[in-house]
A and B are shown apart, each in its own frame.
Chain A
Amino acid sequence: MSPAYAITAVVVVSLATLIVGVWGFRVARTTSDFFVASRSVGASLNASAIGGEYLSAASFLGIAGLILVSGADMLWYPIGWTGGYLVLMVLVAAPLRRSGAYTLPDFAEARLQSRWVRLVCSLLVVTIGWLYLIPQFQGANLVLGPFMGARPWMAGVVVAGVVLANVLVGGMRSITLVQAFQYWLKLTALLVPIIFLLLVWSNGGAPSPVDTPAIGGVPGADWASPMTSSSEHPLYLTWSIIFATTLGTMGLPHVVVRFYTNPDGRAARRTTLAVLVLLAVFYVLPPIYGSLGRIYAPDLIASGRADAVVLELPLRMIGGVGGELLSALLLGGAFAAFLSTSSGLTVALAGVLSQDVISKRIHPIRAFRLAAIIAVVVPLLLSIGLKDVSLARTVGLAFAVAASTFCPLLLLGIWWRGLTDVGALAGLAVGGWTSLIAVVNSMIGGGQTGWAADLLGQPALWTVPLAFTTMVVISLLTKSRIHPSVNRFMVRLHTPESLRVDRGPASNSGRVS
């Protein structure tokens, strides 16, 4: 693709994003607007926004790349990333909304009445957020950079710049509209080209990826079949991926903060159902790109550019102006994917940083803006010079950390009165450190082989149960520390809002008015 097409696509998406953002800004006035859009966002708009925010470049580009490289076992990523919302809906959505908390640290503090738990949660939110942001910026450089004819670091800087401009101007209210817009942009960008690509494929005799020659010793038939495509311990890896993705979703800072924009618990559930539908519609597409890639672009595996397969296919299968235009559309969608997830994470991180880290003497809105800058610049710097790894796999690791920490905290906090502050701290520490060590090991390329490589490469299957067990056992040992407010809080979490019962004080302890 000539850089002119690529740059045009990036400029159009950036401008559209900023225009929608500024339009939304007219309603963003108070501090509360900045944080959670005054909780007055409608269910369908909110569902589109969650979808838009959630579908990062790991979904738009990364899944197809991962399937191209490692075959059928990677199909579980999109399934897990959708199934995560079902788990979230049945166990977390309504009670979390009813808790009235703005962020995960707010929830933890309200439930356990402990400043220490709050602090640890804040650190975890920032860690998970940065783990998620690093591959976004890295991916922008590696995948978009070559198409734009730009220097290696420039695409990431452009993404960071547009994200900051949007967040600084509008806070979350403008972000909600931007995110909803970007879901539909991403879906269109992935859907329209696939129609043409499948026509070309079918006119070309509909070749099957099963019949493709072996790559790296893996024949096409093994590539296309589960459990024969990727590793020595496919069952462990598959289960671990499923564990991390389905249980990690509820612990992602940018996902959770969205639930506060529902008017009540019932709406939170209905929104999640709508999200489930939107995600399923989207996630049907990347595996098709991945398997077309196995037929038409297998050389990308050797050149280490598998994450670009979505953008390459129209150029190779169609070519000419048509191919360039479709490829530019996909590049615009990919850029939107980088933008939307980064924006959502930035808002979530800035909310936590400004409430828990930055001095209370600074005016809230100024603190939020300062925090947004910190939230973006640190991972942008970290993304330069890290080993280039698969987008979807790295994002999957952020899910593993979330699943090993916030998942047990939320599930036990919502459904079990016996959780104590000491138990929570112990579980967060055990789950957090084990998963984090495994993740950092993978990001710097630890170089283990055999079981060690797999246990560290996909840690969730053992770190999540470990964290749960620690939380339960330590809580049982410290029963005397069960806070007396827990009963009132359980009433708050589980009773419908229309019922007039004493729910205790609202649980946002931040400075939001």
Chain B
Amino acid sequence: MSDQAPQRVKVTSPRTVVRRRPRQVTSEIDAHTEVGEIYLSSLLGAQFGLAVLVLIPITLIGIGLPLVFVLFPQLSEVCIFGLPITWLAVAFGIFPVLIGLGWVYVRAAERTERDFIAAVEE
């Protein structure tokens, strides 16, 4: 829980400083006011944008790599350990990319949520 922090640190950004409101943002969200809606939409937009950022390289690999293999069949003539480099690229090369993307995403998504909590509880 965020309120277990030993000392409450005030996180400020230009936006939250300007828009200081007597009413709590959480209750704005609960009441579906315009302000609450802006907060929720911005969270959804940020998380979805992040998801799309991760999906773009996946799509490029999934759509693009087979296309590269069709356009440049001579790539398969280069062999390492008796197997074409195209074979090795698919069988072993893609996994590290997937894990890397996943790691970056988890960090970014958690940061987005921390920022959202900070903005709402300000």
Binding site for B on A (CB under 8 A): 72, 75-76, 78-80, 82-83, 85-87, 89-91, 94, 206-211, 221, 224-228, 234-235, 238-239, 242, 246, 266, 269-270, 272-273, 276-277, 280, 283-284, 287, 291, 415, 487, 490-491, 494-496, 498-502
Contacts and interface: CB of A to CB of B under 8 A. Distances in A.
A269 B109 CA distance: 9
Interface string B98-122: 1101110110011001001100110
Interface string B21-33: 0000010011010
Nearest to B113: A496
B91 A501 contact: no
B26 A501 contact: yes
A220 B64 CA distance: 25
A165 B121 CA distance: 51
Contacts of B66: 76, 226-227, 234-235, 238-239, 242
A270 B98 CA distance: 14
Given A284-B95, A494-B44, A224 B73 contact: no
A235 to B, nearest CB: 6
A508 B98 CA distance: 33
Nearest to B50: A90
B interface residue count range (under 10 / 10 to 19 / 20 to 34 / 35 or more): 35 or more
B60 interface: no
Nearest to A67: B91
A44 B6 CA distance: 29
B67 interface: yes
Contact of B98 (A86, A225, A284, A494): A86
Nearest to A92: B51
B84 A87 contact: no
A432 B51 CA distance: 26
Contact of A226 (B86, B94, B120): B86
B82 to A, nearest CB: 3
Given A86-B54, A242-B62, A276-B98, A228 B73 contact: yes
A272 B102 contact: yes
Contact of A206 (B51, B81, B116): B81
Residue with the highest number of chain A CB atoms closer than 10 Å, among B26, B47, B63, B102: B102
Contacts of B32: 487
Given A210-B79, A498-B2, A227 B29 contact: no
B38 interface: no
B40 interface: yes
A235 B67 contact: yes
Residue with the highest number of chain B CB atoms closer than 10 Å, among A86, A224, A490: A86
